[in-house]
Amino acid sequence: MAALAGARRRQRAAAPRTAFRVGRTTRWVVLVLTGLYFLVPIVASGRYAFEGNGGAFSLASLGLVARDTALWDGVVTSLEISAGTALITLLLLVPTSIWINLRLPSWRRTMENLTLLPLVVPAVVLVLGILTSFRNLPGLLLGTPVILALEYVVLALPYTYRAIDSGVRAIDLHTLVEASRSLGAGWVQCFRLVLLPNLRGSIFAAAFLSVGFCLGEFAIANLLTFNTFPTRLYEVGTEYATEAVTVSVLGLVVTWAVLLGISALGGRGPRRRGAAGLPLLSDPAASGEARAAAVADAGTGSS
Amino acid sequence: MDTTPSAGGRALPSSGLAPGRAARHPGRLLRHALGVGPFLCYLTLFLIVPSAAVVTSAFQSPSGGFTWANIRASLSGVYLQAYGGSLELSAIAALASAVLGTIIAVALASSDRPLLHRLVTTGCGVMANTGGLPLAFAFIASIGNFGIVTEMLSALGFNPYDHGFSLYSLAGLAIVYCYFLIPLMVLVMLPAVQALRQEWFEAAAMLGARRRQCWQLVGIPVLAPAFLAALMVLFTDAFAAYATADVLTQGSIGLVPIEIGSLIQGNVLAGQQNLGDALGFGMILVVVVVGVAYAVLQRRAARWQR
């Protein structure tokens, strides 16, 4: 016990001192107020959704949700779009990132800036562009949700590229490729047996990021009039407020589970691998961190 | 010159020199650049082409000739008001979130509990991605007309809706936008705040700096780049947001994305297509101007750091 306490004290003493002197009370007031701001809407919608007559807990709104077939159609469409988006994202970005780091390291900066371009074009404006430029193409492209998957790949690019690229940079790419090539592996074998297993963490992170994006995107799907999970949720909301809140609570829970999954993957990876002496997985590629990384790059990139 | 990909594989002992060598052999550089081809084609087809179409169509009359009429129409009447509303909303939401996010980051950095850090950063990662409809519904359920918090407050004798507050106003929207902007700010500022060590201030003080000079010469130059970069992204995030605003305002407040949305949805007259594109061009322009202004500021910040 004493040793534990000692370790704990040492750990605390080792914490870096920042230039800011904040009193205990001030700190806790700030953090508690923040917590309230973020928790109240969640708790309120939970109560709103599951409150029956007289304030008792009720699952009546869930029954309504279960009978809404258009909603389930929307969920299926959204899941299909998610799968397509994740697949295209990985097929496009994993080889590109490996290639850049292996053959064109001088292009890294350029690539980072290119992947930030989607931030310049708001989703609503992209819809205008799609309608204008693909108007004359056969209905195959604009008439099916395929166009959504194709565009979501672009819109999630600032985050997905960072997730994959940080993974590729974290492995010793040159050594792994040299070693496997000199042992007689072809490029396909090298990719499949050596690189992919080493990039598992960041590949999962990128896939989850794009799925999370697809499950929440509303603007483009709505303006191109497709029935996805968010657009059906919007329609439900205009008719039955309680049901809509129930569905959105369920949607939030699913999305958070996905995002926490990414975070857990990122947090667990290095430790498990690190024990074997090979830091093969990337640093945490949690979604928020991927966004923060994109912001940081936007900061240094444009100057 | 080996044309198979294995050429690079054999040149591996000197692979660290690859960029320099590639630059000296234009043929190899070209071949290496081919590997990025699919990505560049994809980006061009699904981002550059649509964006370019918006920009050109903004200057076209329905018959295809060049005209300023769309731009002029997009800068008058209800559309001009929409620009005003959008800029005001994004500026308020971004500034408020930037300041609050920094305060939270400072409060967090001054704590040395690893569990608290982990909890807050994970929470921020999740919240920063919680936008759109669920967020709008959550706020309607809490501080909407008949929300739970509204009802609790009116039971206590203070109905915010009797005192000029409304969730469906510009201020209400700003409160909702902060929900996904603040966490992003915290995530960006936390590393910067943690990097600002007490020792640096002590060192400056030993060299004779007063508290104000410490901030002027050490504190602000360290924090400014992260703060400005985040402020820019928060602004563009808020400027582009569509779903939340659409649900909450139902068209009662003019915002540029909402106006574009109703132009797209409303199967409008022939000339209106170009009007929508003119508004879209305006949105891209605002984002680019903010980016350029930021780059100029950033260069000044870099001068402080030297």
What residue segments make up the domains of chain B, in order of their start?
17-58, 69-136+171-305
pLDDT in tens, A228-279: 888 888 888 777 777 778 888 887 787 777 777 766 665 544 433 333 222 2
The pLDDT of residue B96 is 94
By C-alpha distance, the chain A residue nearest B228 is A299
By C-alpha distance, the chain A residue nearest B151 is A44
Nearest-Å Rg of the Cα atoms of chain B is 25
B79 vs A51: CA distance, rounded Å: 42
A44 contacts in B (CB within 8 Å)? 138, 141-142, 147-149
Is pLDDT at B267 greater than 90 in this prediction? no
Is pLDDT at B22 greater than 60 in this prediction? no
The pLDDT of residue A262 is 64
A235 CA to chain B: closest CA distance, Å?
10
Quick one: average pLDDT of B53-57? 88
Q: Between the CA atoms of B237, B263, B58 and A112, what dihedral angle is there, to the nearest 10 degrees? A: 30
Mutate which: B49, B133, B212, B287, vs A, most A CBs within 10 A: B133
The pLDDT of residue B88 is 92
Quick one: average pLDDT of B243-250? 84
B242 CA to chain A: closest CA distance, Å?
6
pLDDT in tens, B36-45: 889 999 999 8
By C-alpha distance, the chain A residue nearest B150 is A44
The pLDDT of residue B89 is 92
Instruction: Give the CATH fold of the B69-136+171-305 domain.
Output: MetI-like fold (1.10.3720)
Is B53 in Cβ contact with A133 (below 8 Å)?
Answer: yes
Is pLDDT at B17 greater than 60 in this prediction? no
The pLDDT of residue A102 is 86
Range of A84-88, A194-198, B245-249 with top mean pLDDT: A84-88
CB neighbour list of residue B152: distance below 8 Å, 6 or more residues apart: none
Is B137 in Cβ contact with A248 (below 8 Å)?
Answer: yes
Least confident of A11-15, A51-55, A109-113, B148-152: A11-15
Residue A291's pLDDT band (boundaries 50, 70, 90)? Answer: low
Query: Which residue is associated with the tokens 């005209």?
Result: B67
Mutate which: A27, A108, A124, vs B, most B CBs within 10 A: A124
Is A102 in Cβ contact with B148 (below 8 Å)?
Answer: no
Is B50 in Cβ contact with A129 (below 8 Å)?
Answer: yes
Greater confidence (A281 vs A5) lies with: A5
A96 CA to chain B: closest CA distance, Å?
6
Question: Closest partner residue to B130 among A130, A252, A294, by Cβ?
Answer: A252
A86 CA to chain B: closest CA distance, Å?
15
B296 burial level (CB within 10 Å; 0-12, 13-18, 19+): exposed
Is pLDDT at B284 greater than 60 in this prediction? yes
| CA A297 distance to own-chain centroid | 17
Residue A288's pLDDT band (boundaries 50, 70, 90)? Answer: low
Is B264 in Cβ contact with A131 (below 8 Å)?
Answer: yes
B201 vs B197: CA distance, rounded Å: 7
The pLDDT of residue A299 is 54
Question: Closest partner residue to A100 among B36, B107, B273, by Cβ?
Answer: B36
Quick one: average pLDDT of B105-127? 81
Structure tokens at B198: 């007490």
| DSSP bridge partners of A57 | A51
Largest Cα–Cα distance of chain B, in whole Å?
84
Percentage of the residues of chain A whose pLDDT score is greater than 90 = 10
B37 contacts in A (CB within 8 Å)? none
Is A125 in Cβ contact with B103 (below 8 Å)?
Answer: no
Yes or no: domain A63-301 corresponds to CATH 1.10.10.10? no
The pLDDT of residue A52 is 65
Is pLDDT at B244 greater than 80 in this prediction? yes
Greater confidence (A200 vs B284) lies with: B284
CB neighbour list of residue A98: distance below 8 Å, 6 or more residues apart: A168, A173, A191, A195
How many beta-carbon pairs under 8 angstroms link A with B?
331
Q: How far apart are the first and last CA of chain B?
A: 46
The pLDDT of residue B87 is 92
A44 vs B147: CA distance, rounded Å: 8
The average confidence (pLDDT) of chain B is 80
Is pLDDT at B95 greater than 90 in this prediction? yes
Is B187 in Cβ contact with A288 (below 8 Å)?
Answer: yes
By C-alpha distance, the chain A residue nearest B215 is A19
Is pLDDT at A82 greater than 50 in this prediction? yes
Greater confidence (A51 vs A32) lies with: A32
The pLDDT of residue B110 is 80
Is B125 in Cβ contact with A289 (below 8 Å)?
Answer: yes
Is A37 in Cβ contact with B179 (below 8 Å)?
Answer: yes
Question: Closest partner residue to B106 among A22, A92, A119, by Cβ?
Answer: A22
The pLDDT of residue A198 is 85
Is A130 in Cβ contact with B8 (below 8 Å)?
Answer: no
Mutate which: B99, B137, B197, vs A, most A CBs within 10 A: B137
Question: Closest partner residue to B5 among A100, A187, A287, by Cβ?
Answer: A187
In the three-class reduction of DSSP (H, G, I as helix; E, B as strand; rest coil), residue B264 is classed as helix
B135 contacts in A (CB within 8 Å)? 41
Percentage of the residues of chain A whose pLDDT score is greater than 70 = 75
| Residue-wise DSSP of A121-160 | S-HHHHHHHHHHHSTTS-HHHHHSTHHHHHHHHHHTHHHH
- Tell me what ipTM this predicted complex has: 0.80
The pLDDT of residue A85 is 93
Is pLDDT at B18 greater than 70 in this prediction? no
DSSP code, position B48: I
A230 vs A248: CA distance, rounded Å: 9
Question: Closest partner residue to A121 among B51, B120, B127, by Cβ?
Answer: B51
Quick one: average pLDDT of A122-134? 88
Residue B16's pLDDT band (boundaries 50, 70, 90)? Answer: very low
Is A96 in Cβ contact with B35 (below 8 Å)?
Answer: yes
Checking phi first, is residue B159 left (phi over 0); if not, alpha (psi -120 to 50) or beta? Answer: beta
B211 CA to chain A: closest CA distance, Å?
11
